[in-house]
Amino acid sequence: MTVIQKTIRLSPYPRGCHLITHKIVEQLPELATVQAGLLSVFIQHTSASLTINENADPDVRRDLDALLDSWAPESFRYVHQEEGLDDMPAHGKASLMGASVTIPVTNGRLALGIWQGVYLCEHRNHGGSRSLVLTLIGE
């Protein structure tokens, strides 16, 4: 059994949902050696999140971001406001979306569906760079 774990750092993204599947694959060449396994991707932040969704139509990304804004609007009267008006809504969105995704690995490739990709959802206006812990387990 192979177990590989590494932390990768992503450059800052603007607020919104961004396809990062290619960034993960680029940083994990060991993926090609695994015939059957799992990849866990975990984000080490509380104001950004990860999800898997459609990777073809960019309108999905815009609509997903608009949905998140409607579920956790900046106009709500939050108690936690020391880090800016976008901070507490970002924490709420990150809790709704989640901090990790798990993807099957088959024959050295991520076994995503044809229209699926991994998204980084940046919920802050200026979130900065983000760290992901990649854990690959397989044979």
pLDDT at residue 110 in the model: 98
How much is the average pLDDT of 87-98? 97
How much is the average pLDDT of 14-36? 97
pTM, two decimal places = 0.95
Third-level CATH fold of 2-138: Jelly Rolls (2.60.120)
Domain boundaries, the chain: 2-138
Q: What is the length of the chain? A: 139
90: part of which helix (H) or strand (E)? helix 87-97
pLDDT at residue 82 in the model: 87
Q: Look up residue 22 and give its two tokens.
A: 């290619």
How much is the average pLDDT of 17-27? 97
Whether pLDDT at 28 is above 90: yes
Q: How far is CA 20 from CA 27, 55, 89, in A?
A: 11, 10, 22
